[in-house]
């Protein structure tokens, strides 16, 4: 009897030790899981707004978007990268806090050029959902280019943005870019277009940031020396949270020669500027890349708290693409699978996030 009781006691003790050991062994894994939870950009900073020439977060503190733009989501060099794993890679590995969904309007298979409107809207819906799930900001980009004059497609733009604003009016992370790169038209025409489209958006979404493209190819004026956007007080009257786009390509002589002064002038005049597209190459997207001028631009933009989005998340065989043309993966890229531009931008974005720390 005594031996049997002793064996039972020993068995109970061993079982108790085993349970304690298991609990202790499992605990670090639970802690590790908790530690992997990411405080997302949107959870940290909330709804963005415009204050003077600056973008600010929900607490009124200056905030900078570090974004990546897709290539055209109506083409196979763009839409494969509209996936959650890709956006998560950009957020967690690159230090990106926003994505831009570029939807061409008049190019091949574009929204106003024979493309399936329903399919393209669905691509936007998916991209917005992935960004939202990951707590990232997202630009819905009406990517006019060859159409030049935004009034060409104003009726379609009104319908499109009415649909988007109805759908996303309660979300905090949506930014509407209503005309990518107006060209071949003056600021008066762009203003007329913008006033119509913003009115539609504001009917449903009262607070979201709206980005207005500027002449010429979003260079804040008709040529290197003109500043008609900044020289026009209250360029788009009657609305809040409006920003104006500046695009540059770092290996383009005229962009480096004229645009820095135009940016500084616009901000001095109280104009909120956002760089919704830049590249390391020439404006064609190809040829050599300039690390030197890209570095100067990023330093300038960081100092001024100006947000920026790099073109483009693609493996298209051109120098501005951020992925190597040999890369088939659509997420979780190794540095060896990036292009020269991709490796440079990833390093710069990571460094910027680290420098900002809790403010990133």
Token pair in block for residue 38: 């990411």
**Using CA atoms, how far apart are residues 275 and 278, in angstroms rounded to an integer?**
7
**Using CA atoms, how far apart are residues 44 and 358, in angstroms rounded to an integer?**
9
Among 95, 192, 121, CA closest to 151: 192
The C-alpha torsion from 241 through 164 and 77 to 259, rounded to 10°, is -20
Contact between 88 and 129 under an 8 Å Cβ cutoff? The reply is no
What residues are labeled active site?
Answer: 181, 277
**Using CA atoms, how far apart are residues 21 and 27, in angstroms rounded to an integer?**
10
Question: Is cis: bond before 216, omega within 30 of 0?
Answer: yes
Q: What are the backbone angles phi and psi of residue 9, rounded to the nearest 5°? A: -65, -40
Token pair in block for residue 297: 């631009």
DSSP conformation letters of 179-239: -S---SS-HHHHHHHHHHHHHHHHHH-SSSEEEE--TTTSBSSSSTT--HHHHSSSSSTT-
3-state secondary structure of 141: strand
DSSP character for 181? -
């Amino acid at each position: 009897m005594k031996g049997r009781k002793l064996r039972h006691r020993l068995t109970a003790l061993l079982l108790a030790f085993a349970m304690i050991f298991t609990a202790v062994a499992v605990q670090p894994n639970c802690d590790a899981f908790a530690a992997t939870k990411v405080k997302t950009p949107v959870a940290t900073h909330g709804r963005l707004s415009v204050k003077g020439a600056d973008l600010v977060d929900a607490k009124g503190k200056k905030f900078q978007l570090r974004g990546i733009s897709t290539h055209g989501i109506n083409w196979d060099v763009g839409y494969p990268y509209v996936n959650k794993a890709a956006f998560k890679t950009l957020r967690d590995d690159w230090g990106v806090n926003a994505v831009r969904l570029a939807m061409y309007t008049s190019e091949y298979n574009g929204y106003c050029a024979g493309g399936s409107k329903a399919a393209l809207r669905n691509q936007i819906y998916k991209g917005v959902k992935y960004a939202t799930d990951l707590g990232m900001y997202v630009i819905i980009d009406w990517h006019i280019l060859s159409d030049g004059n935004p009034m060409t497609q104003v009726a379609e733009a009104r319908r499109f943005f009415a649909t988007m604003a109805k759908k996303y009016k309660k979300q905090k992370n949506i930014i509407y870019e209503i005309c990518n790169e107006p060209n071949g038209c003056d600021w008066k025409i762009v203003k007329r277009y913008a006033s119509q489209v913003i009115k539609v958006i504001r009917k449903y979404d009262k607070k979201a940031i709206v980005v207005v493209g500027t002449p010429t190819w979003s260079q804040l004026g008709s040529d290197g020396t003109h500043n008609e956007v900044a020289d026009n007080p209250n360029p788009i009257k009657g609305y809040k949270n409006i920003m104006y786009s500046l695009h540059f390509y770092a290996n383009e002589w005229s962009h480096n020669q004229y645009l820095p002064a135009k940016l500084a002038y616009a901000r001095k005049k109280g104009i909120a500027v956002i760089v919704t597209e830049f590249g390391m190459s020439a404006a064609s997207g190809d040829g050599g890349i300039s690390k030197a001028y890209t570095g100067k631009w990023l330093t300038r933009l960081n100092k001024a708290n100006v947000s920026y989005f790099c073109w483009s998340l693609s493996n298209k065989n051109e120098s501005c693409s951020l992925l190597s043309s040999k890369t088939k993966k659509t997420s979780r890229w190794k540095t060896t699978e990036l292009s020269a531009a991709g490796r440079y931008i990833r390093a710069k974005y990571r460094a910027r996030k680290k420098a900002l720390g809790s403010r990133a």
